[in-house]
Structure 1
Amino acid sequence: MTLSETQRDRIAATLAGIACEAGEILRAHHGGDCPHVIKPDGSPSSVADLQAEQLILSALAQACPGIPVVAEETCHNVPPADLFFLVDPLDGTRDFLAGNPEYSVNIGLVEGNRPVAAALAAPGVARVWFAGTSAFEAPIRAGRVEAAHPIHARQAPPAGLVALVSRRHGDSETEACLAGLPIESRRGAASALKFCLIASGEADIYVRCGPTMEWDTAAGDHVLTVAGGCVVAPTGRPMVYGRHALSYRNGPFAALGDPAYLDRLDLPDRGPLMRPQGEVLAELHPAVNPEPSPR
């Protein structure tokens, strides 16, 4: 099945509404003593995560019946299909529990191995981004999407790049990668919100060498890519999605507003299984052909 441009745009708008509804659940818990547990991987899972995920699963089943959903909390081991959703009901749970408003709801629809429609709501800062064939941002008011406007990533400023850096996940490999680029300043930001700040032209680069999952990145990847930027794996290829055999784990990646800096990236190699991600998918699922390099 190949979705038409009209279908992609319609689904993206629907996902934006669902993400904002889920965001209202998160806002109701934010700033309080939200009950949570620590999962075996060391990450927290809260009542807010679970309630938001249940709303999203129910809404997707009604809006897009028959399309499987891979979601972080309750259905993270569902195998992919030709068309499937990747959902993170609360990206940035640690920051959320600490009172940071930069958490997000991420919903991406993947066709083949790339997202084709997505929404990312950041209820704590009252902003939502969504993209089908075009990328948009809108304010959130009372859990609803207000008038949206188109967005586009900016060209790299002559003075140097503004890098978005994680407040909780710094590492030496990320620092080494940034050291090879003309970074003018750094700005701390949490969650997948970083992809969308670049898509809106407010920053230029986000490098992540530490562990992430596909539901962390799919929505932001699509918004930024449609806005004119790119999200790439170590060889400069686009990220690919649906790697069930790898438990949906990502390798290192970089999100860029200006693809002109692709050739200056030096992301670390994770060995044969992660070099490059597209080849991994082809090896595990020979019928899927990764997209060509944007270089």
Structure 2
Amino acid sequence: MPLDPRMRDSIATTLTDIACEAGDILRRHHGGDCPHVLKPDGTPSSEADIESEKLILDALRRHYPTIPIISEESTYDLPPSELFFLVDPLDGTRDFLAGNPDYSVNICLIEGHRPVASAVAAPGIGRVWGAGVTAFEAAIHRGRPMSRNAIRVRKVPEDGLVALVSRRHGDTETEACLAGLPIGQRRGVASALKFCLIASGEADIYVRCGPTMEWDTAAGDHVLTSAGGCVIVPSGRAITYGQYRIFYRNGPFAALGDPSYTSRLGLPDRGPVLSPIRKGYSGDSTPPPA
């Protein structure tokens, strides 16, 4: 039986509390010499990632002991179920280690193949977003969310779309998609903040054709979709989650505040991605050969 709206909203409230607590761990590490190692794919995993993940997993198991958790650092190779969590304890590790504030904690509950409750905490800028049935935002104070305020995507400004672009992951396919749209401004933003800024009416589009993982996108996707936007794949349909056979890898997608731009995107359709990905792969880089 699908989760009812009241339960979804209750879970979203709990997830925002947990994400803010984990974010407080990250904030204490930020700006210092945080110990880190390189994973097999060459991407970093820091002490902050590990501490944040432990807090999140402990809290989720305490509140929801029967729901499996797929998390980037330690449980990335577990299969999903009808109801499961996707967790990124530190999205934007490279930016975090470089001292940039655009990092986040992403927690999302998936039912079937789509999100139903999520939280994205951004301790570096003192903001947290969440969504159950509806999307909301709150300021973070001393590791806790303050009053939650409903958010909604905006109408496209007359001077053109504000496109959010990754600081570290530009590619020619993404540029080709944006070239056909009335882009008035580009802003470099890291991590899942891009979804949330569109949801809050501060930007309009984010296109990503390079590799990402499901824990990078699910929580922000649900915030944006609940605020009136959408996250679509080349077919024009909503992005889905729980793709275990391809190790939770996403294909090209676009996040939009105004769904009417869907038909103008031209996302590259590569067909099903069936080649396996080596364990330890993160969306921060091109995957290594299988």
Normalising by structure 1, we get a TM-score of 0.92
**Alignment: residue pair count:** 274
Residue 182 of structure 1: aligned partner: 182
Letter in 2 for 1:44: P
The whole-number CA distance in structure 2 between the counterparts of 1:271 and 1:111 is 24
Residue 286 of structure 2: aligned partner: none
Residue 259 of structure 2: aligned partner: 259
Residue 116 of structure 1: aligned partner: 116
Q: Does 1:98 align with 2:71?
A: no
Residue 228 of structure 1: aligned partner: 228
Letter in 1 for 2:134: S
Letter in 2 for 1:13: T
The whole-number CA distance in structure 1 between the counterparts of 2:252 and 2:93 is 21
Letter in 2 for 1:92: G
- Highest relative contact order (Cα 8 Å, sep 6+), 1 or 2? 2
Letter in 2 for 1:217: T
Residue 200 of structure 1: aligned partner: 200
The Cα shift of 1:132 comes to: 0.2
Secondary structure of 1:124 counterpart = coil
The whole-number CA distance in structure 2 between the counterparts of 1:126 and 1:141 is 7
Letter in 2 for 1:119: A
Residue 23 of structure 2: aligned partner: 23
Secondary structure of 2:228 counterpart = coil
The whole-number CA distance in structure 2 between the counterparts of 1:41 and 1:107 is 23
Residue 132 of structure 1: aligned partner: 132
Residue 66 of structure 2: aligned partner: 66
The whole-number CA distance in structure 1 between the counterparts of 2:272 and 2:134 is 35
The whole-number CA distance in structure 1 between the counterparts of 2:8 and 2:259 is 24
Secondary structure of 1:266 counterpart = coil
**Which runs of structure 2 are paired with 1:14-93 in the superposition (5 Å)?**
14-93=14-93
Residue 290 of structure 1: aligned partner: none
The Cα shift of 1:156 comes to: 1.3
The Cα shift of 1:272 comes to: 3.7
Residue 283 of structure 1: aligned partner: none
The Cα shift of 1:243 comes to: 0.5
**Which runs of structure 2 are paired with 1:252-291 in the superposition (5 Å)?**
252-273=252-273
The whole-number CA distance in structure 1 between the counterparts of 2:44 and 2:246 is 21
Structure 1 unaligned regions, length at least 5: 275-295
The whole-number CA distance in structure 1 between the counterparts of 2:128 and 2:271 is 36
Residue 9 of structure 2: aligned partner: 9
Secondary structure of 2:109 counterpart = strand
Secondary structure of 2:165 counterpart = strand
The C-alpha deviation readout for 1:115-134, integer Å capped at 9, x for no partner, is 00000000000000000001
The C-alpha deviation readout for 1:123-152, integer Å capped at 9, x for no partner, is 000000000001000000000010110000
Higher share in helix: 1
Residue 289 of structure 1: aligned partner: none
The Cα shift of 1:269 comes to: 1.4
The whole-number CA distance in structure 1 between the counterparts of 2:30 and 2:56 is 18
The C-alpha deviation readout for 1:28-71, integer Å capped at 9, x for no partner, is 11000001111111211000000000000000001111100000
The whole-number CA distance in structure 1 between the counterparts of 2:214 and 2:202 is 24
Residue 287 of structure 1: aligned partner: none
Q: Among the aligned pairs, what percent are the same residue?
A: 70
Structure 1 segments of 4 or more deviating over 6 A?
none
The whole-number CA distance in structure 1 between the counterparts of 2:234 and 2:43 is 25
Residue 173 of structure 1: aligned partner: 173
Secondary structure of 2:34 counterpart = coil
The Cα shift of 1:271 comes to: 2.7
* 40-49 vs 104-113, greater mean Cα deviation: 40-49
The whole-number CA distance in structure 1 between the counterparts of 2:42 and 2:194 is 23
Q: Does 1:245 align with 2:245?
A: yes
Secondary structure of 1:156 counterpart = coil
The whole-number CA distance in structure 2 between the counterparts of 1:263 and 1:256 is 12
Residue 284 of structure 1: aligned partner: none
RMSD: 0.8
Letter in 2 for 1:85: F
The whole-number CA distance in structure 1 between the counterparts of 2:127 and 2:149 is 12
Secondary structure of 1:245 counterpart = helix
Residue 278 of structure 2: aligned partner: none
Residue 209 of structure 2: aligned partner: 209
The Cα shift of 1:245 comes to: 0.6
The Cα shift of 1:273 comes to: 3.5
Letter in 1 for 2:223: V
